[in-house]
A and B are shown apart, each in its own frame.
Chain A
C-alpha cells in the first residue's frame, strides 16, 4: 500500500466517498469518525467556528499519523480529511475513515488517529459566540519529539 491519503480542504466533507475510497476487497469493516461543530463550548453558545491550518504541514502530519496507525494496529487503508474556513454548528470539521479486515483494530486505529491529530496537527480554530465575540480555542502544545526523526510509534498509549 502507498502513503495514506490526507487532505485539508475548504469544501464540505463527503463521508460516503471517503468510506468508499478506503475499502478494499481484503476489508471486512470500515469505520467513520465524523467530528462536528457543537453548539456549546465551556458554557458559551457558539454560532460558528473558523478553522485555520498550516495546510501543507497538516497534511504531512495527518499522513504520518495514519501510517503509524496502519502499522500499529494492522488495519487496511486510513483516510483523513480536515476542513478549514467558516463552519456552522452541525457541519463536519474532520473525517477519519478506517478500513480493516476486522472491526477491533478499526476502532483502536480510529481512536488513535483522532487523539494524535488533536495533539500535533497544526490546525487552529476561533469560536464566534452568539453574543458576538471571537476567541482562539485553547489547544495542545505539540512536542518537538514529534519530529520526523523522533520516533513516536513506540510511545506507550
Chain B
C-alpha cells in the first residue's frame, strides 16, 4: 500500500521535501513507516525514533495501523502563538 508522508519545519529540512510517497506492506503501522524513513540514505536518518505524528490530521500513537492513502504528518515541536 502507498501512504503519504508530510514533513514540516525541521523535519522538512531533513527530508528535503514537503511530501514523500512511501510503499509499505499491508498491515504496517506508523512505527513501521518511521523505521522505513529512518533507514533511508540522507537527512531522514536523523528523524527521531519516536516522532510525534498525526494520521489524517489527528495525533496518533506509533502503533496505529495504516491504510492505503493515509496522510501521515511528522510534527516537530510546535511553536505557534
Interface residues of A (CB under 8 A from B): 35, 51-54, 56-58, 60, 82, 93-94, 114, 117-126, 136-149
Contacts and interface: CB of A to CB of B under 8 A. Distances in A.
B6 to A, nearest CB: 7
A60 B57 contact: yes
Given A54-B73, A60-B57, A139 B8 contact: no
Contacts of A51: 80
A6 to B, nearest CB: 12
Given A56-B57, A144-B59, A122 B77 contact: no
B36 interface: no
Interface of B: 6, 8-10, 52, 54, 57-61, 73, 75-81
Interface centre among A35, A114, A144 (most CB of B within 10 A): A144
A37 to B, nearest CB: 11
A142 B59 CA distance: 8
A145 B10 CA distance: 23
Given A54-B8, A118-B80, A122-B73, 11 more contacts: A54-B73, A57-B54, A57-B57, A57-B73, A82-B80, A121-B78, A122-B8, A123-B81, A141-B78, A143-B52, A147-B60
A125 B8 CA distance: 11
A144 B81 contact: no
A137 B79 contact: yes
Nearest to B54: A57
B78 A143 contact: no
Contacts of B59: 120, 142-147
Contacts of B6: 54
B63 to A, nearest CB: 10
